[in-house]
Structure 1
Amino acid sequence: MKKLCWIGSPFFANEMTALGWDVTVIRQRTTRLLTWGEVVATCKGEPDAVVLGDASLPPILAGIEAWPCLTAFHCVDSHIHSWQPVYAQAFDLCSISLRDHLPGFQGKILPDECLKWLPPWAPDNMRPRDVDKEWDLLFAGTVNRETTPKRFTFLTELKRHLPSLHVTHGDFRELFPKARVVLNYCERGDLNFRVFEALGTGACLLTPEVGHGQDELFTPGEDMYTYPADDMDALIQQAERLLALDGPCEQAGQNGLAKIDAKHRASHRAREYSDWLRSQSDKYRSRRLAHVADIHDGVLKLLYLHMAEGVANHELRTQYLRLSVATPPLI
């Protein structure tokens, strides 16, 4: 059984265990540099592969360019962190959640064939529930004037026009099935997990047109309904049309759920990712290890200097400055 160390956001790491991987998860939620020696100690031996699951943290793997096993990075927040395409060059493989950002990762040190579009997914246990509908139109998620200002302003204005809009937060598994229509709003134009999670509960989803392959995964007007991003008038018109009739909502909910159950749950992504890791010959790892100095000097040096300039923590700043000088030894 191959040993896999999954660092950061666990995503579908647990589903990998059913596919023959001995998985150790290191949940990294704070900016602390992790060394190869710590990984080996935590895994009780050298892993065959390391995956960094994007936890919206700055670079946290010290000397990753020289780690001796297969390495992979799954990027979710490339719409927030412009440095991710640079950091990805230090890995053997990189999967990207937002398809339209793939060109930003291409044409650099990491061969284009080592990049993969891996869209979001719904958890396996996020399913429809037989409950009464409590709300006509529901938005569930963070709505904060400081942290999500565009969303706050947009939803505040929308509620003036559609008083039946209910805004709350909590467990999506409990909330989504109670709405006739689930509204999605993307603060930064990303194809977010809420699309898949809403459809995974059998909800009728009304979501913005964002690109990133959304219309290739789900058919607007059949599996879900869409509105031009930030177009208040179009959103109001679409919402009022859906709420006037039950049939289209129910049918879209059934169709969207069928697509999720067929292709877009965590277990599907785990299978695809597992097959991808296992299919890799040793050439990518060997290529990286043969060019450690080039990767460091040509990619990571400037990135670490940039990170050192932007952090307030003195110890972390010092660590980034040390990493900018040379690849650290494997300890």
Structure 2
Amino acid sequence: MRNVAWIGGLAFKDHMPEFGWRPLHVPLRPGVPLCWEEIRAAAGEEPEALVYVDRSAALPMVGVESFPCPTCFFCIDSHIHAWYPAWAQAFDACAVSLKDHIPAFASRLAPDRLVWLPPFAKDTDRPPESPPEPEWDLLFVGTVDPETTPGRVRFLDELGRLFPGLAVMRGDYRGLFPKAKLVLNVAERGDLNYRVPEALACGACLLTPAIANGQEELFRDGEHLFTYPQGDAAAVAALARRLLAEPERRARVAAAGRAEVEAHHRMRHRARTMATLLDSLAAAGDASRRLARAEEIRATHLRRILLHWAEASENPEARGRYLAAARGLPCPPPTPGLF
């Protein structure tokens, strides 16, 4: 079994051994980008591949274009970070969560090195063995903050006036979703978010916006879930009223949605896709071709990003590493005793 340095989010890490890859977890350094020497030391052995799972943070590694093994970036928040497509060119492949964003990553990476890896349900996302009695007609679970989610606040306020049966809560969605007749998802940025497979895996009858990014390829309206026009509170209220009068239809669609997740959208399914991609990278020698073009990649795609983070960082060690990487200089030595 080959090993893979696993950096950033855990995602489906624990399922990788099922497909021939043993993950070596490497923790990020808060506020300071990792160098290859630190990654190798933290892994405890020479990595045969490397995967970085998006943590929606500052540039987490420097010198990626010169890493000696096959590399892959699992990009989740491309709807938030405009610099991701350029940074992805330092890797041998990129798995992108939002399908419509894939063309933006195609500057250097070939089509077969850009893979759609849509949201998935966690292993713990399951309905309770004994479903509780419903407490709410329509439930939204998530952050509602005027500063960070103003559009969501306005939408839910309007919906609450139109549909008094709306409940808005925070907490463990696994314990809350089974207590609702209908579950509401909001995607104000138009992103296919993880709440879709999570809710379906928990057995919810889900109402979610009709958006792009491949949602209609994964789940069909009226069969696995129900969709409403983005931002249309009146449409949600009308749909909820209709469905509350059709309990058998709600149950049928919820069961079909859960079955679809079990068949295609669990952690193990995404691990299989990632393992297949790593197998291909290892067999085709992509890392050698990238290494031969490392200086060009740095100059064309990375220097501007590195200089931005050098200016934005308040950490002197991080600034030094970003500047060194932008100039093509060796990374400053790892901090003694870090790992």
For the criterion TM > 0.5, the same-fold answer is yes
1:323 is displaced (CA, Å) by: 1.7
Partner of 2:232: 231
Partner of 2:337: none
Cα distance per residue 1:163-198 (max 9 Å; x no partner): 211111111211111111110001311000000000
Partner of 2:200: 199
Partner Cα distance (1:267, 1:69) in 2: 24
Contact 2:162 2:233 in 1 (8 A): no
Amino acid at match of 1:222: E
Runs of at least 5 residues in structure 2 that lack an aligned partner in the other structure: 334-339
Partner Cα distance (1:120, 1:29) in 2: 26
Contact 1:9 1:27 in 2 (8 A): no
Cα distance per residue 1:213-262 (max 9 Å; x no partner): 10111110111000011112212111111122212211110110110010
Cα distance per residue 1:138-173 (max 9 Å; x no partner): 101111111111112211221122121111111121
Partner of 2:147: 146
Partner of 2:336: none
The alignment status of 1:310 with 2:312, answered yes or no, reads yes
1:128 is displaced (CA, Å) by: 1.6
- Match of 2:89, SS? helix
Runs of at least 5 residues in structure 1 that lack an aligned partner in the other structure: none
Partner of 1:41: 41
Corresponding pairs, count: 330
Written as runs of structure 1 = structure 2, the 5 A alignment for 1:82-231 is 82-106=82-106, 108-129=107-128, 130-231=131-232
Contact 2:34 2:61 in 1 (8 A): yes
Q: Percent identity?
A: 46
- Match of 1:90, SS? coil
Partner of 1:296: 298
- Match of 2:146, SS? coil
Amino acid at match of 2:286: Y
Contact 1:29 1:55 in 2 (8 A): no
Partner Cα distance (1:175, 1:165) in 2: 14
- Match of 1:255, SS? helix
Point out the more displaced range, 132-141 or 319-328. 319-328
Contact 1:30 1:57 in 2 (8 A): no
Partner of 1:10: 10
The alignment status of 1:257 with 2:236, answered yes or no, reads no
Contact 2:324 2:331 in 1 (8 A): no
- Residues 1:212 and 1:327: Cα distance change in structure 2 (over 3 Å): farther
Contact 1:29 1:57 in 2 (8 A): no
Partner Cα distance (1:329, 1:125) in 2: 40
Cα distance per residue 1:246-282 (max 9 Å; x no partner): 1221111011011001000011111121122113323
Contact 1:90 1:110 in 2 (8 A): no
- Match of 1:32, SS? coil
- Residues 1:198 and 1:168: Cα distance change in structure 2 (over 3 Å): same
Partner Cα distance (1:25, 1:203) in 2: 33
Cα distance per residue 1:17-70 (max 9 Å; x no partner): 333322122243733211111111111111111100000012211211101011
